[in-house]
Structure 1
Amino acid sequence: MKETIIILGAGVMQGPAIRIAKELGFFTVVLDGSADAPCIPLADRFEQIDLKDKESIEIFARSLQNSEGLGGIMTAGTDFSASVAWVAEKLGLPGIPYEAALNASDKSRMRACFKKAGLPSPEFITITAEDKPEELSLPGAFPLVIKPVDNMGGRGCRRVDTMEEFRDAAADALRFSRSGRAIVEVFMDGPEFSVDAIVYHGEITICGLADRHIYFSPYFIEMGHTMPTAIAAEKQEAMLETFRAGIRALGLAGEGSVGAAKGDIKLTENGPMIGEIAARLSGGYMSGWTYPYASGVEPARAAALIAMGHKPAGLTPSKNLTCAERAFISIPGTVKSINGLETARAGNYVNDLFLRIAEGSAVNFPENNVSKCGNIITAASGRNATMEAAESAARAVLIRLDPADETTANFLAKRGQIFPPDAFQLDAELTAILEKMPETTVAEKISGAENIYVHPFPEFFASGLRDYMGRSARESIEAARKLSGLALPEHPESSGGVLLGRSFWAAMTRGGYQGAVYYIDRLRK
């Protein structure tokens, strides 16, 4: 008789779980709210159901259990571990208690559990749209962090340093909350780490501890992670012990409970503090890609087995590699073309390139971890070589923006903003040199590759500044030359052609190579 498993989610992050469940011989029934989810073709059967609708999922699962048999239910990399726990509890399937899943899904409940257990976690309050900021008893002095109690991927999550920022951030966080609640907590300063675990009848097996690379305050944008962490062993163990204690405090590791846990841990000057713990395997390419590449262990395999009532297997590492994931991003606009994909794929140690945009896509500078343009994954024995390869491959992807979209022009006009930041943040000396530079000299729109020069800016090239992706000034002008098809020689005078001056360099320093190419394309259009 076939063993049937339900997997919630048919997105990219659920792909490994679906594939592995089929490899294990399970008949794989996949649910998703979207009929266009990319991993639907991997499933043996697909049903379109809203993953928030636990009652409808229960009705479907019970029907399946009664008609064909059902062995288990799971998810990976989604917000819907509570739906999984609800169905498992109602149908007598392996899993965790529904109340424990709520503890791990609602950040307010989560923080309360940690506080009750005496675990290191920031002071917090919970707010709704009815609360007036000036009347709140805040959990501490600024800086604070505001985020929805029930969303993932950094949506609606940001740091605030003033009451004025608080009002805007609170409205944003509440907009992203399904329950209309947000949490306000004291900011934890320090590097951040991600960790996965399989939990089986009280036994917690760690499945990777990674360095997270977070940028672009006041938001918390993960530009990648590196597996395994490079932090000292004693600090690793301190973080892992805090993580294990957090799992127990949420009720995820009781006798009879089986499932997974994903944690974000901050290492502050006072030691480890829990960012959050979810009752699922991680998204962000960690549980499905970087830990398997680095260790040879596929956490989704053990997760599928225990969801189906079997013992976990395959959790002993067979490799000792470094794996790096790095994102590539864009300034605001509309994608005209995507270049360099084959170069990126052919880079050293590149295992995967995930593209999340296409020609015609609207793109924005990321304010959360679901609005990036794509990701590169590399794996090799040397840590530095692996990281450098991932970063080089990510820089090889060049995104040209449509010159007809005024969104980009509006972005380029706002130099010196806190957010989105300038691609190259000039100091006062460089800014003064730029402001004294001659303006672009062009009588009318250029139509081809006439004699087009750029005014020299040697101080910029010598500055050592890097853009969002780590490109130097020289690398950025080379990218602009490649995309525009122009040689763009440096010359202090136009020599009868077109001299790109102050406005060109302003576009470059504000928006990187994308700003420079957009500026040229606007002259051409």
Structure 2
Amino acid sequence: MNGVLLVIGSGLRYYREYLVTSIHRRAREAGLRLVLLNNLKPTWQSEYFDEIVLADVFDPAVMIAEARKVAEQKQIVGLMCWDEPLVLTAGELAAEFGVPGLGLAGVHGCRDKHRTRDLLTAAGLPQPGYAMTSDPAVAREAAVGIGFPVVVKPRALGASIGVVLARDESEFDAAFAVALAASEVDQGVYGAQAIVEGYADGPEISVDGAVHKGEYLPMFLARKESGEHPYFEEIGHVVDAADPLLADQSLVCTLARAHRALGIEDGITHSEMRLTADGPVVIEINGRVGGDLIPLLGKIATGIDSGDVLFDVATGQRPDIAPSKRSVAGIRFGLPAADCVVRSVTVPSVAEGLVTASPMVDPGTTLRLPPGGYLARHSFVVCEADDVPTCRRRLLDTSAMVEVDAQPIGPPEADAAFEMPAGLLDTDA
């Protein structure tokens, strides 16, 4: 075989195996070996990778050293990473190895939410007022200047962790404390900083798209359902292959301009936007495929396989993003009503339109809702239908069939340290 495709971080099995399956198939067809740098002893990954290197990839110095060892022994022709905490260093390695990637400007523009705001504002794209600080007094003054309501969030985390709405000045100090505490978990260059920004009111969507040599190619769009304010926990998503927003030139043009402003070269991005009364506003652009199984929804609804697209952009090829299906697919996550320890989770195996369902925690897992914890998901269900209303109904009906046995628990201690939820990181033992 000629050359190696290096993957950094496999991700959780139920979130990412469908991507790895397609990438493995394409690598075999191209005569490429697959090498994985991963932080845990392999289980399901062994079926797909020719070599697995165990290393603490969440330590940038370790990741860099191990990747360079692979490069010394093998010809790396492409590099992939879809785990948010690893994207920055992986992007820097792609640039070092001279293989297609987001580019140095692009990966920093995506990962650093403050830099994103700076670059999009400079490019003339509509943006809310914003400020970054770790000082509560400075943050409060900035919020008053921006005008309430405001959103406070960590500089570089994902999955809406630590993102809080403050509707007025009386709510601000508590909101800022939550965001700053979450930001301090990030030990990277963008940790321990929080951003205060004006609240862009309107429905929230996400768009997964490919970038080839700087050309932005939108693939599919998801309508997001979030939990109640002041937090932004993501409860579910629906992807409609026929969503009229995909033909909205204002939205597509905004996304293309935003990608150019950030300097993104090659890869897949997951862009989050708000549809305000004044037009679409980019909230953030992530330098990876979407989370929450959104790429799987995209494949079910449109036929576009994000694994195939990832392989193409990582190896310097222009991807084929033409849809081959016209359907609707959605996901809904099960969350507890209160903090608890899970005893068991049972999901349905048969339901109208059900594609797949799975528990997301093992017995004995503690689930905490914001602000004591995040991603307190015990299960998910994925359904398909011919239209959006039917898909949403099927998701609700199927979610109601999930059975959870859990023991309620009290709130965490006031001085308890914030811990990164397992659902965000590769902890699939």
TM-score scaled by length of structure 2: 0.86
How has the CA–CA distance of structure 1 residues 270 and 231 changed in structure 2, closer, same or farther, with 3 Å as cutoff? farther
How has the CA–CA distance of structure 1 residues 280 and 139 changed in structure 2, closer, same or farther, with 3 Å as cutoff? farther
Structure 2 counterpart of 1:16: 18
Whole-angstrom distance in 2 between the partners of 1:312 and 1:374 = 36
Larger radius of gyration, structure 1 or 2?
1
How has the CA–CA distance of structure 1 residues 54 and 37 changed in structure 2, closer, same or farther, with 3 Å as cutoff? farther
Matched, 1:307 2:319: no
Structure 1 counterpart of 2:257: 245
Matched, 1:333 2:320: no
Select which of 305, 325, 329 maps to 1:298: 305
Structure 2 counterpart of 1:508: none
Matched, 1:74 2:80: yes
Contact kept in structure 1, 2:143 and 2:197, CA below 8 Å: no
Matched, 1:182 2:181: no
Whole-angstrom distance in 2 between the partners of 1:77 and 1:227 = 22
The Cα offsets for residues 433-477 of structure 1, whole Å up to 9 and x where unpaired, read as xxxxxxxxxxxxxxxxxxxxxxxxxxxxxxxxxxxxxxxxxxxxx
Structure 2 counterpart of 1:407: 410
How has the CA–CA distance of structure 1 residues 223 and 303 changed in structure 2, closer, same or farther, with 3 Å as cutoff? same
Shift, 1:189, TM fit: 0.7
Matched, 1:353 2:360: no
Shift, 1:400, TM fit: 2.0
2:146 counterpart SS class: coil
Select which of 156, 165, 168 maps to 1:159: 165
Whole-angstrom distance in 2 between the partners of 1:371 and 1:236 = 35
Contact kept in structure 2, 1:85 and 1:96, CA below 8 Å: yes
Structure 1 counterpart of 2:397: 392
Structure 2 unpaired stretches of 5+: 412-429
Matched, 1:272 2:272: no
Partner letter of residue 11 of structure 1? G
The Cα offsets for residues 330-380 of structure 1, whole Å up to 9 and x where unpaired, read as 1221123324x2xx2201111111321222221233557622222111123
Whole-angstrom distance in 2 between the partners of 1:217 and 1:37 = 39
Shift, 1:225, TM fit: 0.9
Shift, 1:78, TM fit: 2.3
1:396 counterpart SS class: coil
Partner letter of residue 277 of structure 2? E
Structure 2 counterpart of 1:200: 212
Contact kept in structure 1, 2:345 and 2:378, CA below 8 Å: no
Select which of 283, 291, 308 maps to 1:283: 291
- Alignment size in residue pairs: 398
Select which of 40, 43, 51 maps to 1:45: 51
Partner letter of residue 338 of structure 1? V
Contact kept in structure 1, 2:341 and 2:409, CA below 8 Å: no
How has the CA–CA distance of structure 1 residues 163 and 130 changed in structure 2, closer, same or farther, with 3 Å as cutoff? closer
Partner letter of residue 304 of structure 1? F
Structure 1 unpaired stretches of 5+: 409-525
Structure 1 counterpart of 2:203: 191
Whole-angstrom distance in 2 between the partners of 1:131 and 1:162 = 15
- Which has the higher mean CA deviation after the structures are superposed, 140-149 or 77-86? 77-86
Quick one: percent identity of the two aligned structures? Answer: 23
The Cα offsets for residues 73-121 of structure 1, whole Å up to 9 and x where unpaired, read as 1112523322122101111112132132111101100000011001012
How has the CA–CA distance of structure 1 residues 285 and 32 changed in structure 2, closer, same or farther, with 3 Å as cutoff? same
Shift, 1:391, TM fit: 1.6
Select which of 105, 109, 124 maps to 2:115: 109
Matched, 1:211 2:223: yes
Q: Once superposed, what is the RMSD of the aligned Cα atoms?
A: 2.5
1:283 counterpart SS class: coil
Matched, 1:226 2:231: no
Contact kept in structure 1, 2:140 and 2:172, CA below 8 Å: no
Structure 1 counterpart of 2:4: 4
How has the CA–CA distance of structure 1 residues 213 and 237 changed in structure 2, closer, same or farther, with 3 Å as cutoff? farther
Structure 1 counterpart of 2:426: none
Whole-angstrom distance in 2 between the partners of 1:407 and 1:130 = 28
1:84 counterpart SS class: helix
Shift, 1:61, TM fit: 2.2
